[in-house]
A and B are shown apart, each in its own frame.
Chain A
Amino acid sequence: MAEKVVVEFDQHSKEYQARGMEIGAEIRSKCPVAWSENYGGYWIITGLEEASAIYKRPELFSALNLTWQDPDSMYKGIQIPNNAAYGENSFLEMDPPEQLQYRRALNSHLSPASVVRWEPFAREFTNACIDEIIENGEGDFVEDVVNIVPAVLTMAMIGFPMADWVIFCEPTHANVYTPANSPDRERVNQISMEMGMRTMTLIAEARATPRPGMLKDLIDAEIAGAPLSDARIAGQLGLVMGGGFDTTTALTSNVFRYLFENPSDKKRLLAMDEALWATATEEFLRFFSPSQGDARTAIEDCEVLGYQFKKGERVLPSFSISNRDPKFFENPDDLDIERFPNRHAAFGLGNHRCIGSNLARMNFRTMLQETLKRIPEYEIDLAGVERYETIGIINGNKTMPFTFPKGPKTGPGLQATIEKWQKILDDEAASAS
């Protein structure tokens, strides 16, 4: 039996923020299944084959989080250290068969066919956000554009009032970028609670006055033969917002910066060739891996690919580091917008493959294309870019100040566009009922 290889690894550290993929490669060359003593101890998995083996075995490695019910439960969910911020566990922190029933309730909203219908919305809102800053010649790509569009879109798809995006946006981002031991954590927990209360109010309103959207399907769902409680529904909405807002924002901001620093790739993408955008999108996903990896708990003593796991041990198969595995990706640290094949794990692997992946691709492509069409030449103030304090959960940016040639508005701006689309959706809802 092989010796446990112990390594220095902390996905929330400044070192990881600065050179996480390098650190990952060093660990992988020692052993793709290695042990870190941080946060009570966990396996850090850095090889794609090994990560895949864990994710494909939900019967051995559980995503379940029961700490909201019992703080001492061995089932600590997908974050290390454990975070019970969303209240009752979402289906990302459940196992089959229950997990699959939740997915089925929401699949129709996030299928490739459904997602295509939201593209005009995403294009119009991206332009509306740009209209708010275009005459100034300056703005913040995160705060003014890519924080807003995914948030408004997710609100609309849930069936929440779109204007409420301002209530949900900051807590949702702050929850993933604030380290567990940060002095800011208390404030973040506070605003998350306020967001939670607003969610409960909106759920109650939706029970009284149903509107089309994911919330309606959660209210109407029967899982394990029973309808879902308000608290349980709130947990699922927390996931939809976390997944819907934060990840696409992170990817798009990282790519916007990449294109500024790599003008030849920007020039190639400006031609708006669909085939190039398709391979480029997958490569940006692989290279930036907005979602860094989701933890599991070993359900029992077991062996996988010759590695021994003990019951209760925490395991973190890294999406981002596995996405640089030279066994599967030639010159893995080179970003090649024509890379093919590209069997990356940016949307996860196995039964928890990101349910929003089709939406993410559409939203990313749409926001970036519309921005580049309006603002093909821009400068990012690199000294002003603030990455997330921890990129251990989401590899994102808090701010991205940029300047560009002033230009004309093309529409009535963000508030008017929200009002316009709220009316469209409300009218659709009224005629459907």
Chain B
Amino acid sequence: MRVHVQEDVCQGHTLCHMAAPEVFALREEDGHAYVTVTEFTPELIEAAKRAAATCPEQAIVIED
């Protein structure tokens, strides 16, 4: 399971961090998001999916 934030699509809306702070952190300088998890449990996958659904730019990619 791989989750990543497309850097050129993310614009720093921060909704992913609001929805799933356990998966997405925000860069200090501009609030753009990045993934902090490497081992995804079923709960973390669900959290990532919720965050992906609420991203206005649809910047989050989830792939097996």
Contacts and interface: CB of A to CB of B under 8 A. Distances in A.
Interface of A: 52, 56, 103-104, 107-108, 111-113, 278, 282, 340-345, 347, 349-351, 353, 357-358
- In this complex, the member of A340, A341, A349, A353 whose beta carbon has the largest number of chain B beta carbons within 10 angstroms is A341
A108 B29 contact: yes
B26 to A, nearest CB: 5
- In this complex, the member of B17, B56, B57, B58 whose beta carbon has the largest number of chain A beta carbons within 10 angstroms is B56
B11 A349 contact: yes
Contact of A278 (B18, B55, B56): B18
B56 to A, nearest CB: 5
Judged by DSSP, the binding face of B is: loop
13 contacts: A52-B57, A104-B30, A107-B29, A107-B31, A111-B26, A111-B31, A112-B31, A282-B15, A341-B53, A343-B54, A349-B56, A353-B12, A353-B13
- In this complex, the member of A104, A343, A347, A358 whose beta carbon has the largest number of chain B beta carbons within 10 angstroms is A343
Nearest to B57: A349
Contacts of B50: 340-341
A341 B58 CA distance: 12
Interface in B27-53: 27-31, 50, 53
Given A278-B18, A358-B31, A350 B54 contact: no
Contacts of A353: 11-13
Nearest to B10: A353
B19 interface: yes
Interface residues of B, number: 21
Given A278-B18, A349-B11, A353-B13, A111 B53 contact: no
Given A282-B15, A350-B11, A357-B14, A111 B56 contact: no
Contacts of B56: 343-345, 347, 349
B13 A357 contact: yes
A341 B60 CA distance: 14
A16 B59 CA distance: 33
A342 B12 contact: no
Given A349-B11, A353-B13, A357-B13, A343 B53 contact: yes
A341 B28 contact: no
B26 A112 contact: yes
Contacts of B57: 52, 56, 349-350
Nearest to B18: A278
Nearest to B49: A341
Contacts of B19: 340-341
A287 to B, nearest CB: 15
Contact of A347 (B13, B17, B54, B58): B13
Contacts of B13: 347, 353, 357
Given A111-B27, A357-B14, 18 more contacts: A103-B30, A107-B31, A108-B29, A111-B26, A111-B30, A111-B31, A112-B14, A112-B31, A113-B28, A340-B54, A341-B53, A341-B54, A342-B54, A343-B56, A344-B56, A349-B56, A353-B11, A357-B12
